[in-house]
Structure 1
């Protein structure tokens, strides 16, 4: 069996696939957009400035992480002061951003743990040997793979092309439809 964690913009899905079908599935309506929104809300609440979605995403990519990293550089962020309406600059630390996004990260990891718990016990050895595969843009959050690995005790492998993995997989299914058609829901048998 294989286990895949797909962290997209609006949802995170974890699936256990074995013998050509899904044997366990967990999905939460939480993804990388929620990480960005959490950063926006934190900066608004703690620093009194409004920042846009793009700025929040830039902060996430620059200093965001799910666990402490070797590079704990700070980031200078510009936004609109909520009191004066004037431009204002603040310095954010990686520790602040980890705190800001912790609820989202914890929710994603909890869904991975629930999926593991649903998987048939005979597949546990497969996961310990093969690991789980992390795909989707949300999987690019620094330290996330290591944190999932630490909290599940199962190795996590990052896809070589996490942003393209889902569409490449869909293309593979289309190319090999006759061989794979029994995997699809609603497929005529």
Structure 2
């Protein structure tokens, strides 16, 4: 095993997924932010993909959960165990990562208590120093946007637990807002819609599959061609297995409130943006990042509602992680209070 002279480790510690990046090497790990726990002794028996494979398919003695919630640590001990095992897996390729500098992306507006939990977790897994960067800024850097220029630009990062939106100028965040309307909330809306319309209970994995395969933010002529998808679940009345056919129109209706929540959040952010920066956005537009940005037609829906150009970043799911890696090139800037 070789260390390659690596000093910095970047972590996109997301509610749904955790990505690890190494200095000048890009993304080296992508795992679900999940743990599987033995209900008898509360011992973590699996993390990441292994835990995800157990989700919804385990006996009553095993519980699968997300130790992150809304982008911050919800279960301290389980989060530490999860991160430790991810890092241990990485060391098989690159060698010992203890005593390295960690750069971790965090939600905009994170509280001091929430930030302290992340710093303590990093210290316990061996970090010599831990620096943080706010997710919208990391996303903008990862999307190759000119964040150092004095003109304003806006990023809307739709992750698993939160939607982070920020107006950025001169390497800093001028205005920001965080919403709990994001990928996992959309999955719940799909599951609730299926339960109400079809009287069918489905798991979150099935709901996510429906969102990805059939989800759309637009209706009518702008909607994607009508598609159908068969899913299975448990009949609400009889409890027996049942198969139904769901259409893209169904999922559009299920996601309508979530989509409008994001639209309204962007509008509220723009309302508190200084006039000079708002004028820049009229020309430069808004860039969407995060896995939720891949929802069909979301860019078009936002552009129609807000009347500014909206574009989807290249590799939107990776922008925060890639931005975290690029930020490692100037650690002193991360140490400044403006970050």
On whether the aligned pair clears a TM of 0.5, the verdict is yes
* Cα distance in 2 between the residues matched to 1:180 and 1:62: 39
Structure 2, unaligned stretches of length 5 or more? 1-151
The question of 1:12 aligning with 2:166 is answered no
1:133 pairs with one of 249, 263, 287: 287
2:198 pairs with one of 47, 55, 79: 47
TM normalised by structure 1 equals 0.92
Match of 1:9, SS state, is coil
1:173 pairs with one of 322, 327, 330: 327
Note closer, same or farther for the CA distance 1:106–1:169 as it changes in structure 2 (3 Å cut).
Answer: same
Q: Which has the higher contact order (CA 8 A, sep 6+)?
A: 1
Structure 1, unaligned stretches of length 5 or more? none
* Cα distance in 2 between the residues matched to 1:76 and 1:86: 16
Kindly report which structure 2 residues correspond to 1:6-155, keeping only aligned pairs within 5 A, or say none: 6-68=157-219, 69-155=223-309
- Greater radius of gyration (CA): 2
Match in the other structure for 2:40: none
* Cα distance in 2 between the residues matched to 1:104 and 1:179: 36
* Cα distance in 2 between the residues matched to 1:177 and 1:156: 31
RMSD (Å), alpha carbons: 1.5
More helix by share: 1
* Cα distance in 1 between the residues matched to 2:238 and 2:317: 40
Contact map agreement 2:216 2:224 (CA 8 A) in 1: no
Note closer, same or farther for the CA distance 1:37–1:162 as it changes in structure 2 (3 Å cut).
Answer: same
Note closer, same or farther for the CA distance 1:180–1:44 as it changes in structure 2 (3 Å cut).
Answer: same
Task: Work out the number of aligned pairs and report it.
Answer: 185
Q: Which runs of 4+ in 1 moved over 6 A?
A: none
1:45 CA displacement: 1.2
Match of 2:260, SS state, is helix
* Cα distance in 2 between the residues matched to 1:118 and 1:48: 43
More strand by share: 2
* Cα distance in 1 between the residues matched to 2:333 and 2:233: 53
Match of 1:104, SS state, is helix
1:37 CA displacement: 0.5
Query: Which stretch of structure 1 is more off in the superposition, 24-33 or 116-125?
Result: 116-125
TM normalised by structure 2 equals 0.52
* Cα distance in 1 between the residues matched to 2:322 and 2:273: 25
